[in-house]
């Protein structure tokens, strides 16, 4: 989960923190220019998350919130209801977006813009019901996930 559970009958183990930054495709920046300030976003298209009552991560649209806070005119937006869909739209040159760093990590066609901006960090949690505490299957899955997270942290 991308939210820490509040139910007392759930066991949660924080796995890692997800960082979000601002990215655009090289081709988009060649056509539209590279923003250097939040105010510059008013002249750009921003791809945002929408269409769901409960977004996948808290403050998923922090980039447009930042525009509002700074009094920047709202950018033109494209709304997509899936984080990977947002990444695909940005790769295709549809605009600029705040993306989790793991989504943009292997995308050679994406460039980080507004490098001084870091979005909110989101904690990923491994969550299971307390009644499954002694389940061999859950223990095996938990150990596997923790091992993969540790391997990824070393890379």
Give pLDDT tens digits for 71-123.
877 778 888 888 899 999 999 999 999 998 888 888 889 999 999 988 988 88
In our burial notation (b when 16+ CB lie closer than 10 A, e otherwise), range 15-37 reads: beebebbbbbbeebbeeeeebee
Q: Which residues pair with 124 in a beta bridge?
A: 16
Distance separating alpha carbons of residues 86 and 48, to the nearest angstrom: 7
Distance separating alpha carbons of residues 23 and 47, to the nearest angstrom: 10
Give pLDDT tens digits for 25-55.
999 999 999 999 998 988 899 999 987 667 7
Residue 137 pLDDT class (50, 70, 90 cuts): very high
CA distances from 14 to 5, 20, 125, 132 (A): 11, 18, 4, 18
Position 153 pLDDT exceeds 70: no
Query: How much is the pLDDT for 52?
Result: 67
């Amino acid at each position: 989960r991308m939210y820490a559970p509040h139910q007392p009958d759930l066991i949660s183990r924080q796995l890692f923190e997800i960082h979000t930054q601002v990215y655009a495709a090289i081709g988009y920046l060649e056509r539209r220019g590279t923003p250097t300030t939040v105010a510059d976003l008013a002249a750009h298209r921003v791809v945002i998350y929408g269409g769901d009552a409960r977004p996948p991560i808290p403050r998923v649209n922090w980039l447009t919130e930042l525009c509002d806070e700074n009094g920047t005119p709202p950018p033109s937006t494209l709304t997509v209801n899936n984080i990977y869909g947002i990444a695909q739209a940005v790769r295709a040159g549809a605009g600029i977006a705040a993306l989790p760093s793991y989504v943009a990590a292997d995308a050679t066609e994406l460039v980080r813009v507004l490098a001084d901006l870091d979005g909110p960090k989101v904690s990923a949690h491994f969550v299971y019901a307390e009644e499954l505490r002694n389940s061999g299957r859950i223990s095996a899955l938990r150990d596997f996930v923790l091992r993969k997270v540790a391997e990824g942290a070393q890379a």
